[in-house]
Amino acid sequence: MRIKDSPLKKITYLCESYGLDQDEIYSKTQLVISVYHEIVWGSVKKEYLAGSGGSLEKDFYAALSYLNGFPATESKSGLQAKLLNLFLSDWFSSLIGEALSGISEYARNGDVYAELLSKRFFSEHRFLDKELYPEMKMTKSTYYRHRQEAILFLGVRLWGSVLPDRMKLLSSIGVPKKATLLLVAEPKELPL
């Protein structure tokens, strides 16, 4: 019998320290992952073909607020429609990218988790699980354990750090609605 995994202990500790419910974060992260590809890759192609008139009018703070508080029971189609309506695809991609890049500060296997998530869920060409675990030189059981841990770490990073930090930044500087696009387009100038 295996002793409880240290990554799961760390996740539990992080959830408690951020005041997050581990099961809710896992469910919400899976939902976000499930709609990411259509929002980032699908909508980019649709916006290019249809033109993106009016997209500068989107309110980044409202988008962040919705993503921060949507219910874990939200349907996949409902979440996708709401996020497509609120987010520009590069905003959403930027948030997920920031959460992914910070996983290594939370986890000993952070680089492995980030690679797994990127290849499986976030790249334009997504690998299937059955293709990915041999490529990553993992047994099937290790792969699925790491996948679950990676999803949890991503959720902790997103709801525990990235979303609250971005919302606090936008609140503190009082950015008008139309100017939020400029803030998101220049993430290197934002303090982390």
- Average pLDDT for 108-128: 92
**Amino acid 107: pLDDT:** 81
Q: With cut-offs at 50, 70 and 90, classify the pLDDT of residue 154.
A: very high
Residue located via tokens 């770490």? 153
Structure tokens, 62: 């409202």
More confident residue, 45 or 138: 138
**Amino acid 88: pLDDT:** 84
> How would you class 88 by CB atoms within 10 Å of its CB: exposed for 0-12, middle for 13-18, buried for 19 or more?
buried
Tens of pLDDT, residues 159-178: 999 999 999 988 887 655 54
Residue closest to 181 by CA, chosen among 55, 50, 69, 95: 55
Residue located via tokens 């525990």? 160
Residue closest to 93 by CA, chosen among 50, 56, 38, 146: 38
**Amino acid 12: pLDDT:** 94
- Average pLDDT for 61-75: 93
How far apart CA 129 and CA 151 sit, in angstroms, is 14
Tens of pLDDT, residues 46-58: 654 455 544 446 7
The whole-chain average pLDDT of the chain stands at: 83
How far does Cα 175 stand from its chain's mean position?
A: 23
**Amino acid 54: pLDDT:** 44
**Amino acid 55: pLDDT:** 46
Tens of pLDDT, residues 80-94: 999 988 888 888 999
**Amino acid 61: pLDDT:** 87
Tens of pLDDT, residues 1-44: 344 558 989 999 999 999 999 999 999 999 999 999 988 888 55
